[in-house]
Amino acid sequence: MRYNEQLEDNGCDLFPDRTVCVVGNARTANDNPITHAYSHFFMTFVADIDTGLVVDVEASFTLPLTNRFVRSLFLGRPLDVVDEDLLRSVRERYLGSSQKAISVAYKDAVKKFVKAFRDDTKNE
């Protein structure tokens, strides 16, 4: 049995070779439950290197429902450019105390993705 088949049998998610994991970081308020649980807020994005689209995402929220909701906002959206429509959707639809942290973490992840895969100046 191949290693990948073993992972599939164990219920592990597998991502295609042309995907990358990018972590965006932000701070939350001291009274935020996320700060108490994790000390920082972070979002982990899996994106397709070629298209720049988010194929999966999870964040350091304390409730699974929050993760599922935010995931629904980000799936299929770009990580190779800041999507202002997405940020507007976060402002209008996510009414939690981590709203700003979500935007900051997303922008941080975009910056990292662009630097690694879209920055032409790194080869000069």
Q: What is the pLDDT of residue 100?
A: 92
Convert the pLDDT of each residue in 25-83 to its tens digit: 998 766 655 555 556 789 999 999 999 999 999 998 878 999 999 999 999 999 999 99
Structure tokens at 105: 């973490």
Residue 39 Ramachandran class (φ > 0 left, ψ -120 to 50 alpha, else beta):
left
Determine the longest span between alpha carbons in the chain, in angstroms. Answer: 49
